Structure 1
Amino acid sequence: MKMIVLLTGLITLLIFSESFAQAPSTTNPVLFTIGSEQVTKDEFVKVYQKTNVSGEADFSEKSLRDYLDLYVNFRLKVKQSRDMKMDTTAAVLNEFKTYRSKLTPAYMFDTTILRQAYNRMQKDVHIEHVLLKLDPNASQADTLKAYKRITNWKNQITSGKKDFNTLAADSSSDPSAKDNKGDLGYITALQVIYPFETAAYSTPVGKMTIVRTRFGYHLIKVLDVRHSRGMITASHLFIKVAQNATSEDKTKAKQKIDSLYQALKNGASWDDLVKQNSQDKTSAANGGKLPSFGTGQMVGEFEDVAFALKNPGDMSEPVQTKFGWHIIKLIEKKPIGTYEQTRDDIKKKVENGPWSEYAKQSFLNQVKKEYRFTEFPEKKKVLMSKMDSSLLKGNWNDSAMMNMNDVLFTFTDTKWVPEKKSYTQKDFADFILKNQRKFLNQGGLQSMYNKLYDAFVLASAGNFEDARLESKYPPFRDLMEEYMNGILLFDLASDKVWTKAVEDTTGLKTFYEAGKNNYMGQERAQVTTYMCKNKDCEEDLKKYMAKNSSDNDLLSKLNRKGKTNLTIATAEFEKGKESEIEKLGWGTAGTTYTVNSDSVFKIMKIVSILPPAPKQLTDVKGYVVADYQENLEKKWIADLRQKYPVKINEQVFQSIVKK
C-alpha cells in the first residue's frame, strides 16, 4: 500500500512534465540527459514550480535535489514505457480514446454564440405570434402556398382588416393561442429555437416579421423591449382552483386565501401557515420556496407580481393565476451576472436547449470557413441518382458504389496540421450504409438523402477539427499528454511493482525469509486456561491442582459420566496486545491467576515466557507486501538508471539554487 501511495503521488506530481518540453539554448541549457534525451533547465523549473504548490518550492538545494531525483525517476519510467511501445497497445489506446472523447466537445464549439446569447439576455422582448404549421419536408408548392397565406395575414393586419389577437385565436396552429390570443408575453435568450428568437430580437417594436422554423411559418409582432429583470427567488402560499371549479368552489378559495393573507398581516408565522395550508406540496415543507426563475419561466401574472416586490421579506396581496391563488414572498433578487460568471451556464443551455441545432450549424460554418470547405454539387447529384426506395426502408446497400470515388467535398488546413483531405462518394455511401436507419421518416427520398448528406458533412468537419485539437490548443495537448503518461505509468508500475508484489508468492516468501527479523514480535506468554462450569468443579479443580495433577488427570477426574465440567486450552499471547493475561499483570513461568464471575470460574496459568521472534508471514503479509513493493521499485529504478545513463549538469543545477 505504501508503494501505491508513493507511485500515485509521483504520477500526480510529475505527470505534467512532458507537456513542458522546450528546446535547449544558451539561455536555457540542458540540466540533465537520459540516454539521448535532453531535459532543459526551464522545463525542470516550470514543473518544479507547478507541482510544488504547497510551499515546498523554495529553491533550496535540498528541495531541488529531492525533486530532481523524483523527476528523473519519472522520466526514466516514461521512457521505458514508450520504448516498450505500451502507448500502442489496444487497451491503452481504448482507455485514452474514451477519456479524450469526453473532453473534445468543449473545444469543438463556436464560442462566439455564447457572447451572442449573453448580449440578448440583457433584454426581454414582449411578443405576439401566429403559427401556420408546415412540415419541414413539405413540397415546394405547399411551401409557397403556406408562405402566401401567412403573408396575406400580415397584410390584412397591417391594413387594419384583421385584428392580430382575433386572427391568432381563430387561425393559429399553436394550441395555446385559443387562450392567450397569440400573446406569448416576454421572452429572453435561450428559451425558444434560434431562428424564432433571432426574428423576435431583430424586429423593431410595433413591427411584424415572418420567419420559418421546423414547425412552420411564424408571424411575429414585437410589442415591447425592456431591460432584463434578472433572476428572483421567492416562496408562495398556494390555494388551488381547478379549471372546472364551480362558483361556490371559487368563492371558498378566495375566502381562504384572504383569511390566510389577513393572518399573515396580523403576524402569523409564514412557514407554519404555508406548511399547514399551501396546496403546492412540492414546496410547502420548505416554506413555499420555489427554484430561482427569470423572464418567461412563470405565468405572467405570478412573474409580474413577484418582480414588483422590492425588498427581501416583502409579501404580495393575493394574486390569481390560471392555477389558483398565490401569496408571494420575496427572498432574493439578482441581476444577470457578468459574462465570465454566466458563461458555463449559458454553454450548458446552448448545448441542451433550443439552441442546440443552431450551435451545431454554427460550429460547422466555423470549420468550413477556417478550412476552406470546397464542395462539388454535381458529384452529389450523381450519387443521388443511385438511390432508390430501399433507402426509405432503411435497407439500401452500396454494392453499386464500389468504383464511385469522385470527390464530394474537401477541407484544407494550411496552418495547424497542413493537409487537404478529400471525402468521396464512396465515403458518403459507407456513411449512408451505417446510418440510414437513423433517418427514416424524414420525408421523401431527396429529403432523406439531403439530411444524410448534411449529417455526413457535419461528422466529417468534426473529425477534421478533432485531428487538430492538440495543435490548436496547447492546454488540450498538455492534458492529453498528462493522461497518456498516467495510463502508461500506472500500467507499467502495476506490472513491475504492484501486481507483482501480490502475485509473486515465491518472490514474496523469499523476500520475507531474507528479512524476517524486520517483522519481530514482542515477548509472548504461553498460557493454559482451566474453565469450570459449576461450583463443584471449581472446588475439585483447586484440590487436584494443589496435588500437581496432570491436565489429563484433571480432565479424567472432573469430566466423569460423559459430562464436560472442565475445559482446558493452551494459547500464546503477545505482549502489548491488551490480552486478558496482560491485563491481569503478565508474569513469569508458573504465575497463576484465578478469575471468578457469576457465570464462570477459571484459572489462567503461564506455562512459559517465549522471547521475541519473527512473526509468521501470514500475520504480517500486508506489511511485507508493502516493503516488497518498495524493494521492487528501488531495483526497478536501479535497472533503469543502468539501462538509460543519467547525466546531471551540476553547474546548471547550482544556477537554479537560491543561495
Structure 2
Amino acid sequence: MKTYIYSTCVFFFFSFFISAQSNNKDVLFTVDNNPVPASEFVRVYKKNLDLVKDESQKDIDQYLTLFINYKLKLVEARALDFHKKPQYIRELEGYKKQLAKNYLVDNEVTEALVKEAYSRANYDINAKHILFRLEPSNKDTVEVYNRLIDLRERFKNEDFNSLQKELHNGNTILVEDLGYFSVFKMVYDFENEAYKTSVGEVSMPFRTQFGYHIVKVFDKRKSRGEITAGHIMISNNNKETTEDPETRIKEIYKLLEQGQEFESLAKQFSEDRSSASKGGKLAPFTSGQLSSTVFEDTAFGIQEDGAISKPFQSEYGWHIVKRYSIKPVGSFEDMRYELENKVSRDSRSKLINTSMQNKLKKQYNVSNENTARAYFISILNDDFYNRKWQLPEGFSKEKTILTIGNKNWNYKDFASVLRSQQKGDVKGKSFEQIVDDAYESFLNTCVLSYHEDNLENVNEEFAQILNEYREGLLLFDLMETKIWDAAKSDTLGIESFYNKNKENYKWKTRVEAAVATTSKEKDIEKVRQMFKDDKPVEEIKQALNGNGEQNVIVTSGIFAANHQALPTNFEFKEGVSKVYYQNNAYYLVKVSKLIPESYKPLDEVRGVIINDYQQELEKNWIDNLKRKYKVTINQQALQNIKEQIIN
C-alpha cells in the first residue's frame, strides 16, 4: 500500500470528525454541479490549521483555492473511472480493514492491558532463557515439560555459559542471553512470565508460539527514562573536507578539555546539520528510540548533567555527547496514546478480540450453538486426517447455518472453514472436536465481519475518516498517473524545462580555501603570518598545537557562501582574509582559488528538476480542469465561514 500517501496529501487526509459549525445544507461551492458543504470545508480547515507549514494556507481564501483544486482533481478522477480500478478497490479495502481495527476492540480489556503495560514500562528486565522449539500446532507434551522441569534446577544453580555450550544447538534447543528488555519487546506470553518471575528465580515451564521456555531473571532495573543531550558529530562520509574524522573529533575534545564551550564548538564543527545550529542539542529520546545502541548507551552512561563523554564512534561517525538532563518515565496519561497503539498491534490484541467477540454475540443475540453440528460430524471420515476429505454428493450448500441481523451464512460457508482445518494438525482430534473448533472460529469471524461491514452506517467518525481515505487514495492514483510518473518519463520535457530555467540551477561562487579557528586572538595572529608565508596546513597545525594542546583547528576544502566552516558575511576574494569573530571564536580564511558561478549539469540536479517540472505540469493541468469543470462559489456562505473562524 501507498503508506507515504499521508505525507503527500496531509492537507486533507487526517481531518477527523468534529461538530460542524456550518449547516450541512449550506453549500460553499459546486464543482460541475456537485455540491460541497461548508461544514466539510470548516472541518478540514480547523483540523489542519496546526499542521500546515505554509502560512499562506492558513489564509481562508488561499485555503479555499487549494480545497477547490482538490475537489477538481477528484471530479476528474471519477470521470476517468479511477475509482473502478481493481488496484484502487483492493487498496481501499485494505485501508478500511486497518481503520476498522480501532473500532473493533473491547475498551475495558484494552484499558487493563494498557495500565499493565505502563507498569512494566517503568522497569527493564535482564533475563536468559532455554527454549525447546515446537510448532504451534503441536500438542503439549509431558516429555518436553518434564525435561524443562529437570533443567530448571540446573538453570538455578549452574553456570549459564556451561549450560549454553552443552544444550544450545541453534535449531531445536536455544539457550540465549536476552540482555535487558522492557514491555513490548517480547511476545506477550513470554513477557508475562518474565515480569512475574523474581530476580534470581527461574520460571516454571510455559508455552509460547515458539515452543516451551523457562526463563531466569538476573536483574530488574528502573527504566532509564528520557534523556536530553547534545552532540558534536564528525561524519564518516564527509566528502567536502579532507580531515580524518577520528583526528578531528580528538582535536575538538582537546579544546573542550581546555575549557572551550561545547555549544560553541558544536556550531563550528558538528556535521549533524540539524543540531549544529542549536549548539548540538538533540530532541529528548528514550532507550531504544535511536538507531544506534552505542550512542544511547554512551549518552545514558554519563553520570551527571553538564558532563561530556569521551570521543566514540557509532555507525554514523565520531561523536562527543553532552548530557543536559534526564527525566523518568512519563505519567500514565502522557503515555496512554502510545501504549494503546502498541497494545493494539501486540499479541495482547487476541485477548481484546476474544472479549469483543463475546460482547458482539450478546449485542446481536447470537448463540454459540451449532444447529448443524450433528450433520457435519456425520459427513466427516478418515480422509479428513489425510487432507483428502471432500463434501458428499447431495450436500445442501445453500442451507442456512447462521443468521446475524439481515445477513445469512450457509452450509457452504462453514464447509469452507471446515475443509481448511485439514491443513492444520488434526491427528488425534475427534470428529466432534474438529467440528466444534471449526465452528467457534467460523462464528467469531462472522460476528466480527458483520459488525465491521456495518461500521460505516453506525459510526459517524468511522464514516468520515473512511471517506477521506477513499478520496485520498483516489487523488494519489490520479496524481501518480497524470503528473508524477508522466514527468519522470518525459525526458524531452525535462531537458526543455531545464534549458528554459537554467538560471535557477547554478553553482554560486565558491572558494578553495583553508579555514582556521581558535579561541585565542594571539593564535589567530600567528596563523595569519603563517598563511601569508604560504606555510602548509600541516606545518601550521604542528606549530600551534604542540605540547598536547589543541589551540587551532584548520579545515580545508571547497566551500560555498553558506558553508558552516566559513564565518558569516565572509568576503569572497583570493588571499588571506581579515579576522572574523563569532561563536566565541576567531576565524581566518586563506583562499587559494575562486571558483566562479557555473550552471549545474542536468544529471547532477535531475531530481530537483523533475520536482520543479512536476509543479509546472500540475499548475497547467489545474488550469485546464478549471476550464473543463465549472466552479461556483457561494460568497455568502464563505463570508459566514470567515466570521465564524475569526470569532
TM-score when scaled to structure 2? 0.49
TM-score when scaled to structure 1? 0.48
Q: Which has the larger radius of gyration?
A: 1
